Amino acid sequence: MARSYVLNFIHCVFSTKQRTQLIRDPESLWAYIRGIARNCKFDILAIGGTVDHVHLLLSLPTNRNLADVMRDIKANSSRHMRQKGMRFAWQDGYSGISVSPSQMNAVKRYIANQQQHHRKRGFEEELVMLLERAGVSLNRAEIFG
């Protein structure tokens, strides 16, 4: 093959440290995270969340790995929040679940409707559900420890 054809779509979820409700102006933070992605040359296809966590659907380029992309997003966005005068930090870990191209619209809708989802269930219950649906073997104590 003369050219490489790769699609890497990842649904990422991460929360504020100790799930503290620190995201007061989500649209501003989402815009800043989109800027990080632009500067780092990857695409965010959807972004949303609530006062204590973020969901991203991103297109991971072939020359980047997820750990580095998440480090860039979390380090730069937390620095931005601290420069605005907040005592802000993200929890150390994150989840990254691959998404089939056929499921892209469903994941985008899910991310767009975070406020509705959280009327029914909290972040911890949501994350466990997402991981279990994806077939991730998990230890609940390690997730939220």
What pLDDT, in 10s, does the model give residues 66-78?
999 999 999 999 9
Fold of 9-144: Alpha-Beta Plaits (3.30.70)
Band of residue 145 on the pLDDT scale cut at 50, 70, 90? low
Query: Is the Cα dihedral 118, 120, 122, 126 positive or negative?
Result: negative
The alpha carbon of residue 93 and the mean position of all alpha carbons in its chain are separated, in whole angstroms, by 11
Select from 80, 94, 66, 82 the least CA-distant residue to 33.
80
Quick: pLDDT tens for 35-44. 999 999 999 9
Q: Output the pLDDT for position 56.
A: 97
Strand segments, DSSP code E, in 5-116 are 9-15, 43-49, 53-59, 95-98
pLDDT at 144 over 70: no
**Nearby residues of 111 by Cβ (< 8 Å), 6 or more positions away:** 11, 46, 47, 48, 49, 55, 56, 57
**Nearby residues of 36 by Cβ (< 8 Å), 6 or more positions away:** 72, 73, 76, 77
Q: Output the pLDDT for position 49.
A: 94
**Domain locations along the chain:** 9-144
